[in-house]
Structure 1
Amino acid sequence: MRLKSEIWVKAYLRRCAVAGASGVVARHGDDDAGAIFIKVVREDMQVAIFSPAPAGLEHADFDRRWVMGFAGAFVSDQDAEKLLEREARFDSDVWIVEIEDRDGRHFLGDELME
């Protein structure tokens, strides 16, 4: 069973803060089961988006797993925002968490799918 979205987001923001990054909830989704998207902003203002791994991937049904959008590249903030706006129109319960980290670290550890 997965942690509720709200609990996962709070723990993730704490993990980021402990490592020296600042994070905010840019969009608050459903507390229990809202999909979570993570926007990581580097010092040069380039952005990476991490989205939930597709259902059916190993352990994705029980643990949160992530895939990096834009073919694993950092993109402009404008391109990232377009993607996040589309997701929010598609699913009104979506969470968007924004992390500012000089080096563009994502703090997802083993939860990131290659």
Structure 2
Amino acid sequence: MRVTSDLWVSALLRRAFGEGGFGAVLRRGGDSAGAIFIVTRDRMGEATLYGPAPQTGYDDARPDDRLFVELMRTTEEARIDERLAKESRFDPDLWLVEIEPGRPDAELFPLMKP
């Protein structure tokens, strides 16, 4: 059984705070199944947008895990806003979470391996 988006985002924020970072929900989506997008920011101003991994990237042994892929890395806020506007037209229930990790090597959420 897959964990609800609401619970997953709460756990993500706790992990971020536990690692000495910061995080906030910028857009609250559907409680049970809204897609989650994550923006991380480093201290130099670069932002990275992560989104749900394609379904083909999931492991058959763990089909309920949430995996993410890097969608873009930029210092231009407008590019991320444009991408999220397109995504929200497709899925109006999406979540947007912004995180500033406490450490550059912190692994706060699972990324799909290439």
User: CA separation of 1:42/1:22 partners in 2, compared to 1, >3 Å: closer, same or farther?
Assistant: same
Change in Cα spacing, 1:37 to 1:57, as seen in structure 2 (3 Å) is: same
Q: Name the CA distance, whole Å, in 2 between partners of 1:98 and 1:106.
A: 15
CA contact (8 A) 1:51 1:69 kept: yes
Provide Cα deviations, 1:25-72, integer angstroms capped at 9, x if missing partner: 0000000000000000111211101100011322374110110112xx
- Kept in 2, the 8 Å contact 1:25–1:97? The answer is yes
| Counterpart in the other structure of 1:95 | 95
The residue number in structure 2 matching 1:20 is 20
| CA distance in structure 2 between the partners assigned to 1:46 and 1:104 by the alignment | 15
Gaps of 5+ in 1: none
Partner of 2:5: 5
The equivalent residue for 1:107 is: 108
1:38 aligns with 2:50: no
Query: Does the Cα contact within 8 Å between 1:41 and 1:99 map onto a contact in 2?
Result: yes
Report which stretch shifted further, 58-67 or 41-50: 58-67
CA RMSD of aligned residues (A): 1.8
Contact 2:30–2:95 under 8 Å retained in 1: yes
Give the fraction of aligned pairs with identical amino acids, expressed as a percent.
37
**1:64 corresponds to:** 66
Structure 1 residues 58, 93: CA separation in 2 closer, same or farther (over 3 Å shift)? same
- Could you tell me how far apart the structure 2 residues matched to 1:66 and 1:91 are? 16
Task: Assess, with a 3 A threshold, how the Cα gap between structure 1 residues 104 and 82 changes in structure 2: closer, same or farther.
Answer: farther
- Aligned partners of 1:106, 1:87: CA distance in 2, in Å? 25
**What TM-score, normalized to structure 2?**
0.86
